[in-house]
Amino acid sequence: QVRLVESGGGFVQAGGSLRLSCAASVTFFSINAMGWYRQAPGKQRELVATITLGGTTNYADSVKGRFTISRDNAKNTVSLQMNSLKPEDTAVYYCAADATYRSGGATNTYWGQGTQVTVSS
């Protein structure tokens, strides 16, 4: 079982900050890379940031310098600190995790239910 639960979304004005958190609960799986994605209405889901088990990060160009992804391997959590928010950051933000089944070794990507972030001008 792999369960991901996001929290921290909300409504902020442009220039403000939010911190998103994702807590993973797993049974018979080991979590590898984790990340954040977002999707605006009528648009494709896009990558925001990812972080490997070793802490290597990757960011979309649109959020570089403003967002920071981090993780706590002991707690199986991943966070996204979002600063200098812009209206174009408005979207549903999804937590994702690559998880490997301990017995069979199969790896799949699992998704949280999403949390709404709305940035007003």
Question: What digits encode the pLDDT tens for the residues 17-38?
Answer: 999 999 999 999 999 999 999 9
Cα distances from 49 to residues 59, 79, 121, in angstroms, run 4, 10, 24
- Positions of the chain with pLDDT lower than 50, given as ranges: none
Bridge partners, 21 (sequence order)? 7, 79
pLDDT at res. 26 = 93
Bridge partners, 19 (sequence order)? 81
pLDDT at res. 104 = 78
Got the DSSP string for 89-101?
A: G-EEEEEEEEEEE
3-state secondary structure of 93: strand
pLDDT at res. 102 = 84
